[in-house]
A and B are shown apart, each in its own frame.
Chain A
Amino acid sequence: MQFRKAISEIKGLQYLAEELDLQSPMGKRFLLDSEMLYNETELNIEYDLIDKVIQSIESDPKLIADIQSKLSHLRDIKGTVGNLDANLILDDIELFEIKSFAFHCHAILNLQKDLKQEVIGLPNLSGLVDVLDPQKSGIPSFYIYDDYSEELAEARKNLRIAKSENGDSEAKLEELFDKAQEIESRVREELCDKIRVFAGDLRTALNQLAHFDLLIAKAKQAIQLCFNRPELLKESTIYNGMFHPMIKDELLKQKKQYQAIDIELQKSVCLITGANMAGKTVVLKTLALCQYLCQFGFFVPASQAKVSLVNRIMLSVGDDQSELNGLSSFASEMMNVNQMVEVSQSHENVLVLVDELARTTNPVEGLAIVNAVADIFYQNNTRSVITTHYSGLNPYFRKLRVKGLDKDFGDQRITKNNINSYMDYSLVEDNTGEVPHEALRIASLLGINKEIVEKAQNQLNMKASKNKLEVINYK
């Protein structure tokens, strides 16, 4: 999967991509074209590079800023290099682009020498610089210099003399100009032949500089947002202090704290229960985000991360536009889940994340569907997380519960504006199979119409006393 496609699916990823401090147009292209990686060695090479850049930023921030400034002057000359490769004659503008690119590349090469350790290998383009800067001016501007050909110099000199004398006719001047221009074309052709050998190096440099740009951006983001290098494991995926950067940022703007959480996923199904507003959906979205980041060679938003690589990430959070494809929300969810189940049955190595499975149908059948789907994942050892509000889950499933509103509130009144600070978002292992019943409490905290809450509470009380009676009668 290409990064380009992944950002269209995962909002959090798009957010991070937009926040990246990329300097060059090809840095951006490089990122969008980059493929998801499934191989530990390849990923570790990328993480090593980010580590190197982070160390460089910490020891010499100015040098990295200088490199970034040089990168910002780069133009994407992919097309020009293509023309060079295709044996075309380049015009002065294209030659200018190549010269200016070679200058900047050379400057970055030299800057990198001052770093404690080389981050990225760059081809030495000084041969190309020598050819395109025959006057050793050190300025990236370009024309077909007189230095390339004595004949050209002579022709231009004649033209200049003729012009200054002012005696010659317009036609004569035109003739002299045409002659000089003809020689110039010939010289340009020779020049292009001469620099054609550098096409491969230019291509490499383009790619390496784009990668360098991206590495610096990744490293700076990792430092800024407190991301850490994931350790790649075969079996479990374990995050300590995992957070969602976009939501953390949003809370920060409102001067609120984000509570990072710990979670461990084995190669099996895991059900997450918890009250409303307890951040279950955020857990799923963060898990998806972390997995993508990890496999696109980014550090991840967690204080410590051990990640097991997967071939595919399948996420169903039920906020896709089901109206558009003519299906009801239930139908569209089922189609989605069906795919997940088929992948699970074929034992593919995937990460499956389902938010509130079967929430749009009646709780009796809904529960049955949850148990059925979870069972398939359980039997096929599919790494999967399902959030649910249903009680009565099969006892052998692993269950995690969000702690929820069990902090000490003191005398504080809880409202929808401060509920976030009283909610304990951490996950605990839970084997009861019962789900918390806090919907009414949360609804009343949100300040919804009292009549709804009271009537619902009465209904529950009546039902409870009836059940009690039945139990007593039965006895």
Chain B
Amino acid sequence: MPFLKDIEKYKSLSIVGLEKNTGKTECLNYVLSRLRGSRKQIALTSIGIDGENRDQVTQTHKPEIELNEGMIFVTSETHYAKRRLFSEVIDVSNQTTSLGRLVTAKTIHSGKVMLSGPANNAEIIRLIADLKEKGVDLTIVDGALSRKSLGSPAVTEAMILATGAALSANIPQLVFKTQYVYDLIQMAEINPELKPKFRGIENGIWALDESGEVKETGISSVLMIKKEKDKLFQFGTDFFVSGAVTDQFLDFLKNQKQVNQIRLIIRDFTRVFAKPETYYAFVKKGGRIQVLDKTNLVAITINPVSPDGYRLNSDELKLALETKLQVPVFDVKRIENAVS
């Protein structure tokens, strides 16, 4: 598959599902199976642990990943104990997650394992760096898009997006929703020199004034915008928002007379929690959103089958997406069959 060539350029890759059962696990397993012949050292981990819980609720199959022999993986102590393969412990982290410390291990035999990993961006970045030190060429992160998660898959260099019938059973609707995420991923990155100014900020709305200085607006959260709107424009129209960007906030900005000068800076695309309509209305009026961390979308995979058994026409869906988006699209069900 062509997108695998692209993957080899990167040091880190995340695989993100837009909805559960959009075939993320199949996509991941496919990528791994393709990499079987590669001489590169591959490592696998995950962000947080929420994937497993969700799937226990819906009673669909657990997101166990089939690992190849010689692959490195990182998971929590709890999941390490449940592994269905033989592996060699290489390292144990000092920090603990809710499921215990993180274990780095190398598989002796191929087999299945449940993945969990660090829960926030700083630790994911540190882990990727640490794995690189241990001789890993490519770290693959099983990512989740979640409002609750502090960790974002956008910290990896490259990303594959898994979408499918589980998101919507109507092709135009599915394309629209996928395109929205695609558009968010394409948001421009800010000038690298500005990045350090915002890295350490943990909450509130901050302004970037004309002299390039970061000023606290005194607004503690976008949720407070209605109450404290008088403070917003005191230092200009460039803002950094550390948390989520909501419908209410974008709606408010859209209605301001300065809207076409507004530049909103956010951590990464996963911080936008607004409806597509709200986002597009804001952009249409001239507002801009830029990110600290931008990732490269290398491919989209589709799963035309929804969990309740509904099946979309794979070719039609693939064509519709490819026409709209400038990214290769693959059907995971089909590539799986092609592999075996």
Identify the A interface with B (CB < 8 A).
Answer: 75, 91-93, 95-97, 141-144, 156, 159-160, 163, 174, 177, 180, 184
> Chain B residues with Cβ under 8 A from A92's Cβ?
80, 89
**Contacting pair A143 B86 (CB below 8 A):** yes
- Identify 4 new A-B residue pairs, CB closer than 8 A, beyond the known A141-B90, A143-B89: A92-B80, A93-B103, A144-B86, A163-B110
> B276 at interface (Cβ–Cβ under 8 A)?
no
Given A93-B103, A177-B84, decide whether A142 and B109 contact each other with a Cβ distance below 8 A. no
- Docked complex Cα distance between A159 and B84 (Å): 12
Cβ distance A185 to chain B, nearest Cβ, rounded Å = 12
> Chain A residues with Cβ under 8 A from B84's Cβ?
174, 177
> Chain B residues with Cβ under 8 A from A174's Cβ?
84
> Chain A residues with Cβ under 8 A from B80's Cβ?
92-93
Given A163-B110, A177-B111, decide whether A93 and B89 contact each other with a Cβ distance below 8 A. yes
> B106 at interface (Cβ–Cβ under 8 A)?
yes
The main secondary structure of chain B at its interface with chain A is: strand
> B152 at interface (Cβ–Cβ under 8 A)?
no
Identify the B interface with A (CB < 8 A).
Answer: 77, 80-81, 84-92, 94, 101, 103, 106, 108-111
- Docked complex Cα distance between A93 and B106 (Å): 13
Minimal Cβ-Cβ distance residue in B for A144: B86
**Contacting pair B86 A156 (CB below 8 A):** yes
**Contacting A143 at CB < 8 Å: which of B108, B110, B111?**
B108
Q: Which 9 A-B pairs have the closest CB atoms?
A: A96-B89, A143-B88, A141-B90, A141-B88, A142-B89, A92-B89, A93-B92, A93-B89, A160-B109
**Contacting pair A141 B106 (CB below 8 A):** yes
**Contacting pair B86 A184 (CB below 8 A):** yes
> Chain A residues with Cβ under 8 A from B103's Cβ?
93
**Contacting B88 at CB < 8 Å: which of A91, A142, A180, A184?**
A142
> Chain A residues with Cβ under 8 A from B92's Cβ?
75, 93, 96-97
- Docked complex Cα distance between A421 and B88 (Å): 64
Count A-B pairs with CB separation below 8 Å.
Answer: 41
The winner among B77, B85, B89, B94 for most chain A CB atoms within 10 A is B89
Cβ distance B93 to chain A, nearest Cβ, rounded Å = 10
- Docked complex Cα distance between A170 and B193 (Å): 54
> Chain A residues with Cβ under 8 A from B101's Cβ?
93
- Docked complex Cα distance between A93 and B80 (Å): 9
**Contacting A156 at CB < 8 Å: which of B77, B81, B109?**
B109
Minimal Cβ-Cβ distance residue in A for B81: A91
Can you sample 28 A-B contacts with CB below 8 Å? A91-B81, A92-B89, A93-B77, A93-B80, A93-B92, A93-B103, A96-B89, A97-B92, A141-B88, A141-B89, A141-B90, A141-B91, A141-B106, A142-B88, A142-B89, A143-B87, A143-B88, A143-B89, A143-B108, A156-B86, A156-B109, A160-B109, A163-B109, A163-B110, A177-B84, A177-B85, A177-B111, A184-B86
- Docked complex Cα distance between A156 and B110 (Å): 11
> Chain B residues with Cβ under 8 A from A159's Cβ?
109
Given A91-B81, A93-B77, decide whether A180 and B86 contact each other with a Cβ distance below 8 A. yes
- Docked complex Cα distance between A92 and B101 (Å): 13
